[in-house]
């Protein structure tokens, strides 16, 4: 009987560990390259995600840019967001890029959308959505 309890405890522990680690991996969608400071979201990700770039460091301010795996959200946000709505960063205009500017408090990262012509627009993304690499 003790052997059955031991096996069950190990199985439950392993299942919990796999569940926690898979959830942590799925939550981080965007990446910032530490050398170039360029922000990217890879195409064809399996996870469902939505990343919003806000005008100010608050989730109740205007949406300036949107990245989402949801086609309806991309369609809806495209008309509202000044910088557009996309599935990934490969879909933004050729020559444009998004650059990491720095930390902003404990909740946001400050980002800059840089057009091919050199025009810049600042926006803020929640820290939980991206990782620095």
pTM: 0.76
Q: Where are the domains of the chain?
A: 29-132
- Per-residue pLDDT 10s for the chain (133 aa) are 555 555 544 444 434 333 333 344 445 588 899 899 999 998 988 888 999 999 999 999 999 999 999 999 999 999 999 999 999 999 999 999 999 999 999 999 999 999 999 999 999 999 888 777 7
What is the distance between the alpha carbons of residues 64 and 81, in angstroms, rounded to a whole number? 5
3-class secondary structure, 120 = strand
Tokens standing for 21?
């680690």
What is the distance between the alpha carbons of residues 49 and 117, in angstroms, rounded to a whole number? 30
Q: Which residues contact 38 (CB under 8 A, 6 or more apart)?
A: 32, 97, 98, 99, 100
What is the distance between the alpha carbons of residues 53 and 29, in angstroms, rounded to a whole number? 14
Residue 4: predicted pLDDT: 56
Q: Are 45 and 69 in contact (CB under 8 A)?
A: yes
What is the distance between the alpha carbons of residues 73 and 131, in angstroms, rounded to a whole number? 23
Alpha helices in the chain (DSSP H): 2-27, 71-78
First to last CA, the chain: 48
């Amino acid at each position: 009987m003790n052997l059955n309890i031991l096996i069950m405890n190990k199985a439950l522990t392993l299942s919990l560990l796999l569940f926690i680690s898979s959830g942590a991996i799925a939550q981080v969608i965007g990446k910032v390259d530490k050398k170039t400071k360029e922000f990217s979201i890879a195409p064809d990700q399996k996870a469902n995600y939505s990343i919003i770039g806000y005008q100010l460091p608050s989730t109740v301010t205007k949406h300036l840019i949107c990245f989402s795996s949801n086609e309806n959200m991309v369609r809806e946000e495209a008309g509202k967001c000044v910088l557009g709505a996309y599935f990934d960063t490969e879909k933004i205009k050729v020559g444009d890029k998004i650059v990491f500017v720095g930390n902003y408090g404990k909740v946001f990262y400050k980002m800059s959308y840089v057009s091919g012509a050199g025009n810049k627009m600042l926006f803020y993304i929640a820290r939980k959505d991206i990782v620095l690499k």
